[in-house]
Amino acid sequence: MSWFRKKSRDEGGDGVVVHRKVALVGNPNVGKSVLFNALTGAYVTVSNYPGTSVEVSRGSARLGDEIFEICDTPGMYALLPITEEERVAREILLTEAPDLVVHVLDARNLERMLAMTLQLMEADLPVILVVNIMDEAERMGLVIDIPLLRERLGIPVIGAATARNRGVTEIKEAIGSYDGGRRIPFCYGRRMEQDIAAVAGELKGSYRLSAKALALLLLQRDEEVELLVRKTEGEGAGALESLVKEKIFLRRESFHLDLSLERKDIVHDLLEGVIRLPDKRRETFASRLSRLTVRPLTGVPILFVVLYFGLYQFVGKFGAGTLVDLIETQLFEARFNPWIITVSQRFIPWETIRELFVGEYGVITLGVRYAVGIILPIVATFFIFFSLLEDSGYFPRLALLVDRLFKKIGLTGRAVIPIVLGFGCDTMATMVTRTLETVRERIIATLLLALAIPCSAQLGVILALLSKAPGALPVWSVSLLLIFIFIGFLAARVLPGETPLFYMELPPMRLPQFRNVLTKTYTRMQWYFMEILPLFILASVLLWLGKITGFFVTLIGWMTPVMASIGLPKETAVAFIFGFFRRDYGAAGLYDLQAKGLMSPRQLTVAAVTLTLFVPCIAQFLIMKKERGTSVAVAIGVFVSLFAYGSGWFLNEFLLVTGLLS
């Protein structure tokens, strides 16, 4: 989740110094982003969840006298990309020609991850190897001989624990003083080398990567490299392609496997004597806890405890209750608003202009009050909760726990992150859906987020609202749950394609670091606030315009029959118009109506359900458009609006007939 980042300056144009480029690469969840932060001082969200850096973060670092441009890439397992993130990462190596590649890997999995170092070296990329997370490896009893590994590979190798700031200075020095090293070549078996040489010999053009690496990628049917080679080779491409096809056909049985096994053997030999395993695997508290969270018998109760204390008590009771009461009621309503109204009465003589700032829909009295007084405390508490969970490594465990259930609605366990994040901010969550594997899964997740997942701001307001009408909360929750399941179930059947397979690496559970959680919460808050405040102000201005021009009254007039058809008083139209800007804004509008005692429990529930399902906020719609394309976004928007109205009507009729809540 690295869209919160400092803007990098684009240098390299005329008359500007071109800085040397350093690319950080490595498997997901090995600490690339932590290293990036340590090098640049910029902040990238770091989490204990594989695959969180979707975008490439760039920053600059001063090491010695020189300024380097550092770029943090999404996690990749091998030079041959499979997922979207890996493609992005590889693209950087293929086209950007970094002057240095820092391969970060996890000391505990040195044997597995070193295969990629070999691939990078084989591609003739200038590589520095960072053996990270040494602290946890040592705690497990692993002993790694870094100098010996350096000698064997012939490249700079640094043992580090970047999260503990260990080894960062050495890494900086190694980057600053990199001289190419004297890398030790390694080779595959005779037959493999022959095939590689045959293909590599036909490559005449000049490339960023070595002919050997390209030949191997061609033999593994890497489409992008095929395209690149076809473009570069021109005339000779035809002959080369038929040669590659011939080789692929000859080795069709098991090329990937052969290659992986050869690499495994090379790594095995390289590590002979470098790594010493503990005699007995040490059972840590973290691994015991981890086991409890993944067993259904203990995992499900743990999930409920987490949700109860995290969401209900902390976000709901403390954030939406105590904090909102403190800021909104005590600070704004009781002190700030009266004060600002008095002040403006003194300085702004024109009634209409005064209305704009401190009137019923005033920018300050309504826009800022909603944003700061109601939404901010709720969202802040949610993000603290979410960051804690994220850093502890709980999410991958939750993902495997719910995978079976999620498969029923066309998603895999992987989707648990966007869905849970959706309870914080649907807009952010919609962005994160891009980490899902297939387009189908992304569309289903986007739809469910748009429709049935209330964001924390909305959730907070609605919880507060409905808790005053007994029975309303259960009806609301059950309605939304049913709709979530129903639509997910339906979407899984209607949309063509299959649900992808689920696989996920489980990072070890860690105690979240207080500072990390705070910084993360802070950057998220910042992003969120920048996103919503302008919208709130815009909404206030538009509402004010609507009011002074009389259009507002007309609009409410138009909407009254619609409202009436689902049993709501015409005043709720205002809340729904608010809701167009942000759903929580609308819900906050209901709050005001309820405070005035204008609504019965039935009306309140129907309004809350309809509004929760209703059109996502403008920001979410824009992100949907950006991520899924205009046609999908519009289709989801129209469907959601109609479905929300339909559900409202149905619920109202249902409540009227059964006499529930009356």
Partner 1 sequence: MKLSEKAEEILEALWVAVEEKGRGYLDIDSVGIPADDPSYAELTEKSFIEVKNGCVYLRPEGKSEGRQTIRRHRLAERLMMDILNIRGEDGDRKACQFEHLLNEGVDAKVCTMLNHPTTCPHGKEIPKGDCCIEAERQGDMGVVPLTELKSNQEGEIAYIQTGDSKKMQKLMAMGVLPGNRILLMQTFPSYIFRVGFSEFAIDTQMAREIFVRR
| Interface residue list for partner 1 (CB under 8 A) | 77-78, 80, 82, 106, 108-109, 111-112, 137, 140, 142, 256-257, 260-261, 264, 290-291, 294-296, 396, 399-404, 407, 412-413, 501-506
DSSP of 239-268, one letter per residue? HHHHHHHHHHHHTTTTHHHHHHHHHHHHHH
Q: Which C-beta is closer to partner 1: that of 294 or that of 537?
A: 294
Q: How far is the CB of 382 from partner 1 (least distance, A)?
A: 26
Q: How far is the CB of 108 from partner 1 (least distance, A)?
A: 4
Q: How far is the CB of 40 from partner 1 (least distance, A)?
A: 28
What lies within 8 Å, CB to CB, of 585 at 6+ separation is 370, 536, 539, 578, 579, 617
Q: Which C-beta is closer to partner 1: that of 409 or that of 611?
A: 409
Q: Are 379 and 528 in contact (CB under 8 A)?
A: yes
Q: Which C-beta is closer to partner 1: that of 9 or that of 295?
A: 295
β-partners of residue 72 are 24, 57
For residue 656, the one-letter residue type is L
Q: How far is the CB of 506 from partner 1 (least distance, A)?
A: 4
User: What would the two tokens of residue 325 be?
Assistant: 């009461």
Give the containing element (helix H, strand E) for 394. helix 394-408
Q: Which C-beta is closer to partner 1: that of 140 or that of 635?
A: 140
Q: Classify residue 409 by burial, with Cβ atoms within 10 Å: 0-12, 13-18, 19+.
A: buried
Q: Classify residue 266 by burial, with Cβ atoms within 10 Å: 0-12, 13-18, 19+.
A: middle
Q: Which C-beta is closer to partner 1: that of 265 or that of 360?
A: 265
**CA 278 to CA 286: how far, in whole Å?**
18
Q: How far is the CB of 291 from partner 1 (least distance, A)?
A: 8
Q: How far is the CB of 505 from partner 1 (least distance, A)?
A: 6
DSSP of 551-602, one letter per residue? HHHHHHHHHHHHHHHTT--TTHHHHHHHHHH-HHHHHHHHHHHHHTT---HH
DSSP of 322-376, one letter per residue? IIHIIIIIIIIIIIIHHHHHHHHHHH---HHHHHHHHSTT-IIIIIIIIIIIIIH
List phi, psi (to 5°) of 357: -95, -45
Convert 47-70 to b/e letters by CB count within 10 Å (16 or more is b). bbbbbbbbbbbbbbbebeeeebbb
Strands 143-144 and 100-106: unpaired
Q: How far is the CB of 188 from partner 1 (least distance, A)?
A: 15
Q: Which C-beta is closer to partner 1: that of 256 or that of 335?
A: 256
Q: Which C-beta is closer to partner 1: that of 6 or that of 112?
A: 112
Q: Which of 162, 165, 79, 139 is nearest to 115 (CA)?
A: 79
Q: How far is the CB of 401 from partner 1 (least distance, A)?
A: 6
**What is the SS3 assignment for 63?**
strand
Q: Which C-beta is closer to partner 1: that of 115 or that of 356?
A: 115
Q: Which C-beta is closer to partner 1: that of 412 or that of 605?
A: 412
**CA 532 to CA 528: how far, in whole Å?**
6
Sign of CA dihedral 480, 483, 487, 489: positive
Q: How far is the CB of 441 from partner 1 (least distance, A)?
A: 14
**CA 243 to CA 249: how far, in whole Å?**
10
Number of Cβ atoms within 10 Å of the Cβ of 638 = 11
Q: How far is the CB of 429 from partner 1 (least distance, A)?
A: 22
Q: How far is the CB of 64 from partner 1 (least distance, A)?
A: 35
For residue 564, the one-letter residue type is A
β-partners of residue 132 are 106
Q: Which C-beta is closer to partner 1: that of 113 or that of 374?
A: 113
Q: Which C-beta is closer to partner 1: that of 64 or that of 296?
A: 296
Q: Which C-beta is closer to partner 1: that of 386 or that of 406?
A: 406
Q: How far is the CB of 9 from partner 1 (least distance, A)?
A: 35
